[in-house]
Amino acid sequence: MATMAAVLSEDNQALLRLIRDRRPKSLTALAELTGRQVPNLSRSLRMMEGYGLVKLKRDGHGVEPVALATEFLIVLNDPKAAKA
């Protein structure tokens, strides 16, 4: 649960929406939009890429972030309900 909360933090959700809406062509462009440093963004985006939330399109000139998911449905099973 703690990992999921970190991955889907309000800041990361806002970052995904910003990528979806503004479609920055590079991490530098995204850094300008967010006010964050490129290395900081790169770490966050690589982590989100590992969870399938973002695709980092690499080409000869840099990396273009693409949001793959911006809405989430979290279903938690109650272990007591599973026994019934």
Q: Where are the domains of the chain?
A: 2-83
- The confidence score (pLDDT) of residue 49 equals 95
Q: pLDDT tens digits for 3-29?
A: 888 888 999 999 999 999 999 999 999
Q: pLDDT tens digits for 46-74?
A: 999 999 999 999 988 899 999 998 888 88
- The confidence score (pLDDT) of residue 81 equals 65
Full-model pTM: 0.82
The answer on pLDDT for 84 being more than 60 is no
Burial class of residue 53, CB neighbours in 10 A (0-12, 13-18, 19+): buried
Output the CATH code of domain 2-83: 1.10.10.10
DSSP reduced 3-state for 22 = helix
For residues 21-42, b (16+ Cβ closer than 10 Å) or e, as one string? Answer: eeebeebeebbeebebeeeebb
Is residue 83 very low, low, confident or very high in pLDDT (cuts 50, 70, 90)?
Answer: low
